[in-house]
Amino acid sequence: MTEADEPAPSVAVVGGGAVGVTAAHDLAARGADVTLFERGELAAGSSGRAAGLLYDAYAEDVDAAVGARALERFRAFDRSLPGFSFAACPYVIAVCEGDPDADAVPAMVDRMREHGREVSLVDPDALGERFPSLRTDDLAVAAVAAGAGWTDPPSYVRALGERAAREGVAIETDTPVAVGSRTDAGREIRVRDDAGGGSPAAERRAFDAVVVAAGAHTRSLLADAGVSVPVVPYRVQALVARDAYDGPMVYDATADAYFRPHPDGLLAGDGTEPVPADPDDYRREADDWFREDVVAVLDERLARGDAPGRSARTGRDLDDALAWAGLCTATPDGDPLVGPVDRSEEAVPTLFVAAGWQGHGFMRAPAIGETVAEGVLASLAGVAVDAPDSPWIGAFDPERFDGDESFEVTEGMSLSNRTDGE
C-alpha cells in the first residue's frame, strides 16, 4: 500500500462545545475520519452559557498570539459561516482611583502594543467624551482595545457543527462515553449505557486517537483512562438586563465585572465563586447576591439619569432579567492544558486534552481547535511534541504538571492575572 492509499487517521473528539467542535471540524478539513461525541446537545455545557466577549488584549506573548489567531478566524467565519456573526465593538479596561492595579496598566498596555495589539491608554475624561454612556470621573486609568467584538456563543457552536457534519464529521449527541485504555490500534471509547455506566457490555469503538475537550467533565473522563490532570471546575454567573445599551464592552477591573451590548439589552457578569464545583450537581440559576452586585456595578459605571455621571438605576432590582450560572475550569498556573497526556518514547500518543480555560475558552476556541487538529495529526505522524516543527504550544503542555496538584481557584479575567509576571 502506498502512502497515498493509507487510510485516514480516525479521531474521536469528546465534547461538543466550542473547542471540541472546532477541533473536529479542523481535523476533518485536514483529512481525518472524525467522530464527535457529546453527552447532551451541542453547546449544552459551558459554551452555551459563555459571555461571548472576544478580544486579543493580552500582554503575554503566547496569549496574544492565540487571541489574534482566534479573532482572525472569528472574523473570517463572520464572512463565510451561515448562522454566525461577529459584532465589532471596542473593549474598555477600566480601573478606579485607589486601586493598586492601576499602576500596572500602562506597562501592560505597552506589552500588548509590542505584540501588535491595537490597544491604547485613554484619559478618563476623554473616555467619557468618546463613550457618553459610561461614567468615568472615578477612574484612575483606562485602556481601549479597538480590535475586539462579541458574538452569541451557541450560534458559533451550532453553525460550525453543521459545517463539520458537511465535512464528514459523524456527530453523535446524547451519547455519553468513557475513555478506555490504549490498544494495539490506538485508543478505545466505550459508549455508556442509559444508566451512565461503562459496563463491559457497553459498545466499544477503537480510534487512532481520542481528544478530550469536555470542559468541566474533562478530569473525570481522563480519570477513566487512568490519567490525572489538575483541571478544576468553578462556577460563574451572568445575566441579560433589558435596558438599551449601545456602548463599548467594559471590564471594570476594580469591581471585577464586565458588561457588553446584547440584542435584548445588556449582558453583564462575572459572579465568580472561587471554589471547586461539581459539574453534575451545581446551581444553574444566578444567586441574589450576584444580581445585587450587578446592579451596583451598573449604577457606578453607566452614566444615566438627570444628574451628570449618575445612574437612574439605583436601587432597581433585576427580577425580570434572564440570569444563569455556568462553569469555567482552572489550572494551577492559569494556563490551559493542550496536548498529549499519554506520551512515551515507545509509542505514538493516542490521548489528548484541551481544557482549563480560566473563562477564556470560547474566545480562544478557533485558535485552540486549530492547534489541536494540527497537533494530533502531527503526533500521529511521529512528530515529537518538543520538535521544532511541532504545532503544540509549549506553555500549554499538560506534562508541566504531575496531575494531582492542589491549588486555589482564581478568577481568570482579573487584572492581576493579566499583569503578574509581565
Report pLDDT digits (tens) over 107-153.
999 999 999 999 999 999 999 999 999 999 999 999 999 999 999 99
Give the pLDDT confidence score for residue 3 in this predicted structure. Answer: 53
Cβ–Cβ < 8 Å for 29, 394: no
For 320-332, what is each residue's pLDDT tens digit? 568 999 999 999 9
**Total count of residues recorded for the chain:** 422
Question: Would 253 be classed as within a structural domain?
Answer: no
Confidence class for position 4, pLDDT limits 50, 70, 90: low
Question: Would 143 be classed as within a structural domain?
Answer: no
Q: Tell the burial category of 146 from Cβ atoms under 10 Å away from its Cβ (0-12, 13-18, 19+).
A: middle
Cα–Cα dist 12/179, whole Å: 10
Helical H segments across 152-287, by residue range = 153-166, 218-224
Question: Would 390 be classed as within a structural domain?
Answer: yes
For 60-102, what is each residue's pLDDT tens digit? 999 999 999 999 999 999 999 999 999 999 999 999 999 999 9
For 154-200, what is each residue's pLDDT tens digit? 999 999 999 999 999 999 999 999 999 898 889 999 998 754 444 55
In which residue are the cell numbers 462575572 written? Answer: 270
Cα–Cα dist 148/52, whole Å: 11
What grid cell was written down for 392? 503544540
For 335-359, what is each residue's pLDDT tens digit? 999 999 998 877 899 999 999 999 9
Question: Would 252 be classed as within a structural domain?
Answer: no
Cα–Cα dist 123/139, whole Å: 9
Q: Report angle CA 407, 412, 418 to the nearest 5 degrees.
A: 110
Rg from Cα positions in the chain: 22
**Nearest-CA neighbor of 208 among 316, 419, 351, 308?**
351
Question: Would 67 be classed as within a structural domain?
Answer: no
Cβ–Cβ < 8 Å for 198, 339: no
DSSP string covering 295-309, please?
A: HHHHHHHB--SSSTT
Confidence class for position 314, pLDDT limits 50, 70, 90: very low
Question: Would 196 be classed as within a structural domain?
Answer: yes
Weakest-pLDDT range from 355-364, 370-379, 411-420: 411-420
The count of domains in the chain is: 1
CA 281 to centroid of chain Cα atoms:
21
Give the pLDDT confidence score for residue 316 in this predicted structure. Answer: 45
DSSP 3-state of 83: coil
For 225-273, what is each residue's pLDDT tens digit? 999 999 999 999 999 988 889 999 999 999 999 999 999 999 999 889 9
Cα–Cα dist 20/354, whole Å: 8
Residue 326: C-alpha distances to residues 158, 174, 242, 251, 281 (Å): 18, 20, 20, 19, 11
Residue 183's CATH number: 3.50.50.60
Q: Domain of 162?
A: 8-52+153-232+331-419
Give the pLDDT confidence score for residue 346 in this predicted structure. Answer: 78
Q: Report angle CA 284, 412, 313 to the nearest 5 degrees.
A: 60
Confidence class for position 319, pLDDT limits 50, 70, 90: low
Confidence class for position 394, pLDDT limits 50, 70, 90: very high
What grid cell was written down for 196? 451512565
Give the pLDDT confidence score for residue 65 in this predicted structure. Answer: 96
Within a 10 A sphere around the Cβ of 125, how many other Cβ atoms?
Answer: 11
Q: Which residues contact 90 (CB under 8 A, 6 or more apart)?
A: 131, 144, 145, 146, 148, 248, 249
The conformational region for residue 172 under phi > 0 = left, psi -120 to 50 = alpha, else beta, is beta
Q: Which residues contact 354 (CB under 8 A, 6 or more apart)?
A: 19, 20, 23, 211, 212, 213, 336, 337, 338, 368, 369, 372
What amino acid is encoded at 154 in this protein?
P
Q: What is the mean pLDDT of residues 41-65?
A: 95
The conformational region for residue 418 under phi > 0 = left, psi -120 to 50 = alpha, else beta, is alpha
Question: Would 160 be classed as within a structural domain?
Answer: yes
According to DSSP, residue 13 is labeled E
Host H or E run for residue 415 = helix 415-419
For 197-227, what is each residue's pLDDT tens digit? 445 557 999 999 999 999 999 999 999 999 9
Question: Would 106 be classed as within a structural domain?
Answer: no
Cα–Cα dist 209/196, whole Å: 23
| Mean residue pLDDT across the chain | 91
**Nearest-CA neighbor of 353 among 336, 366, 367, 333?**
336
DSSP string covering 324-357, please?
A: EEEEEEE-TTS--EEEESS--SSS---EEEEE--
